[in-house]
Structure 1
């Protein structure tokens, strides 16, 4: 598939800008699991990288007293001229993302919380924007969950994750429920996998068979076509090339 013409553009609205970078595979809580065990979960690692992070500048601290009004959240921000606001009330804080995003025709932007980024006292809210035509800047909100608790976003911490999505793709799917036995070959492969996994786990309670991580079936068979991914390599937002036309 030729993706050379697919552009994601972030038009800067005013300085200073919030940094944007490919989402990192690392998560502190994952690395803190015993023997960094959670790093064996490839689906989670891929999700970690599945988009671009918008990063906080300076230190932002918010405390909610449990009330419904915009004034019931106390916000202090050090190092950022445009701190989040509370126009929704109900303990919701909203960052204005200082970019106007543009995607190709027919593409939206899912703005969601950083994947697998645990934030005590706050839960990210999500939105989908039709970024092929909308002319308003983007926003991203977090719902504070614990009255009286101060929640801090540090310098360089991700505020949200940008994920382009083709409009209409979800609606084009035709979901079905089937009995596994209706597909004998698939059922046989699954049962062999289950037996192999059970035997391996019994013999190696703390072991790692790595089959899914390496994109193979038990026994080493590689299903084709083999476009298995164990790492995403998203591009950085590059400055536009200078326009030399006169």
Structure 2
């Protein structure tokens, strides 16, 4: 789709996300992986049993640092109070631009989405980092000719933080503009949805029994180790919940075009 195009997406065509790199720059971007170091380190990798966590991990694309650097904030508000030190022989991909303990990455490209789609820009999902936290934004990338920055805010002063070469510093995914505003939120008693209530009670009772049986060596629950009904996309009654249930995302790599 050409930059600046306002034409409707052709019916039946595949939606696109294009990263137009600024001349003289390069971008290292990849589908966000499922794996996380801290999840690998959990006992028997139990963190991967949480399907919502797995799906969120891979829900978009990650931008990677072209070089490593360290930074420190002294707790004051002007720009000079964030000090960035590039690794030897490299140029740091982040700088102090706004002050107030904010570290800024300049993203070297213009993203373009299909008409009616914005780009949600945030930090790497489920990758906590000590002493600094990512800030999020939503950008109208179906028309905007403006670059954006990825910003992190220090949460503790006088603490050195570090980004390694190849470490994700930004996570992006398209969202349909106005979709949230079309939703009508409601609150009502669970008893008003008898089929849902029935499945919930089956799950709740089964969960209590399963957790009790886990303490019994050799029990079926101890052999299973965890309940997999949500992971498999079935209700507690055994009925398939949704034909389009996902247990893994498989996003495409960015193709390089001349």
Q: TM-score, normalization: structure 2?
A: 0.88
Match status 1:168 vs 2:168 = no
Conserved 8 A contact 1:57-1:80: no
SS at match of 1:238: coil
Residue correspondence of structure 1 range 182-221 to structure 2 within 5 A: 182-205=192-215, 207-221=225-239
Match status 1:17 vs 2:26 = yes
Residue correspondence of structure 1 range 17-56 to structure 2 within 5 A: 17-56=26-65
CA distance in 1, matches of 2:24, 2:41: 36
Return 5+ residue gaps in structure 1 as ranges. Answer: none
Q: CA deviation at 1:219?
A: 4.8
Q: CA deviation at 1:81?
A: 3.6
Conserved 8 A contact 2:59-2:173: yes
CA distance in 2, matches of 1:97, 1:173: 32
CA distance in 2, matches of 1:110, 1:192: 37
Q: CA deviation at 1:83?
A: 2.4
Q: CA deviation at 1:42?
A: 0.5
CA distance in 2, matches of 1:130, 1:137: 11
Q: Which consecutive segments of 4 or more residues in structure 1 shift more than 3 A?
A: 79-82
Q: CA deviation at 1:134?
A: 0.8
Q: CA deviation at 1:220?
A: 3.1
Please name the residue that 1:239 is paired with: 256
SS at match of 1:74: strand
SS at match of 2:240: coil
Match status 1:58 vs 2:76 = no
Match status 1:76 vs 2:108 = no
Please name the residue that 2:103 is paired with: 93
Q: CA deviation at 1:214?
A: 1.1
Q: CA deviation at 1:212?
A: 0.9
